[in-house]
Amino acid sequence: MAESKLLPFMEHLVELRKRLIVMVVAVVIGMGVAWNFSNGMLSFIERPLTGKTYLTEVKKRAYAALKRQAPALYNHYRLEQETVAAPKQHLLNYSAPLEPFFIQCKISMLAGLILVLPVVFLQLWLFIAPGLTRGERRMVVPFVSAASLAFCVGAVFFLVVIWPVIINFSLSYEAEGLQSWFNISAYINFCLRLILVFGLIFELPILTLLLSRFGLVSYRLLAPKRKYALLASSVVASFHADLITMFVIMIPMYLMYEISIWVAWIFGKKGEAAAVPVPA
């Protein structure tokens, strides 16, 4: 039971407004800091358009292995032409006045949010802290640190591993009479939206850890609902039009649910973990 009484409803709204103001101010400050690096971040997001990604190296190694193991097949499909061909350069385009400026603002805002994530999560914690026990309040530093790190890991995982796959798949449709022409707003908005999605997906185990320590969720609750988690992952992923993007969202989301089951089993309240078998 919480040690302090619940605040009246209006006091809760005042407290929420206070926390939101602190968050907004922190994001604005973070945006100002990130503005100086926004051009570099834009170049990194554009990197898959140059064709120089980890996929290029993987492709070269796969073709080299095929040449050694099956030279007839290698020569039949003329893979030598693909290995010696220089990567094709693709450029982003804009068609509205000040469009690149507003894109720079969006990149800076998201980067600023990531920079001040500890402040954001701390404010969330302070908002719910009056309803926690003294022992639960001591988890503030682990929660803020783990939540901030998890979001950053999700964002980096997407940019480094998943984003090149999506762009490479999109560019594979180029052919004679069909040329890509990426608009900068569509390209960047798509990327930033997925950065947020992956950041939030990687927060699921942290949220499960927190709720399991509070006794609000458990392994017994999560484990039998795997099929519903798979369905929910599919529904969320289905909001993205192309099949590749759907899969690269659905699979990590469901894997995070599986990790959450393990987290609930390992870090759940004592007594429950001993009473349930190891997750399959």
Whether residue 1 has pLDDT greater than 50? no
Quick count: other Cβ atoms within 10 Å of Cβ 43? 10
Chain centroid to CA 219: 25
Q: Which of 13-17, 22-26, 125-129, 171-175 has the lowest mean pLDDT?
A: 171-175
Whether residue 3 has pLDDT greater than 90? no
pLDDT for position 280: 52
pLDDT for position 175: 74
pLDDT for position 169: 83
Q: Is the dihedral of CA 60, 153, 190, 102 positive or negative?
A: negative
Mean pLDDT along residues 173-198: 88
pLDDT for position 241: 59
Q: Percent of the chain scored above 90 by pLDDT?
A: 40
| Residue 173 C-beta-side C-alpha neighbours within 13 Å | 9
pLDDT for position 82: 63
Whether residue 88 has pLDDT greater than 90? no
Mean pLDDT along residues 226-246: 81
pLDDT for position 151: 96
Whether residue 273 has pLDDT greater than 70? no
- SS3 letters for the chain? CCCCCCCCHHHHHHHHHHHHHHHHHHHHHHHHHHHCCHHHHHHHHHHHHHCCCHHHHHHHHHHHHHHHHCHHHHHHCCHHHHHHCCCCCCCCECCCCCHHHHHHHHHHHHHHHHHCHHHHHHHHHHHHHHHCCHHHHCCHHHHHHHHHHHHHHHHHHHHHHHHHHHHHHHHCCCECCECCCCEHHHHHHHHHHHHHHHHHHCCHHHHHHHHHHCCCCCHHHHHHHHHHHHHHHHHHHCCCCCHHHHHHHHHHHHHHHHHHHHHHHHHCCCCHHHHCCCCC
- Bridge partners of 161? none
Predicted confidence (pLDDT) per residue in 35-80, tens digit:
999 999 999 999 998 877 777 777 778 777 877 887 777 776 666 6
Q: What is the pTM of this model?
A: 0.83
Domain-by-domain residue ranges, the chain? 9-172+181-275
State the chain's mean pLDDT as an integer.
84
Most confident of 11-15, 226-230, 236-240: 226-230
Predicted confidence (pLDDT) per residue in 124-155, tens digit:
998 888 777 787 788 889 899 999 999 999 99
Q: Percent of the chain scored above 70 by pLDDT?
A: 88
Q: Which residue has the higher pLDDT, 169 or 59?
A: 169
Q: Which residue has the higher pLDDT, 61 or 164?
A: 164
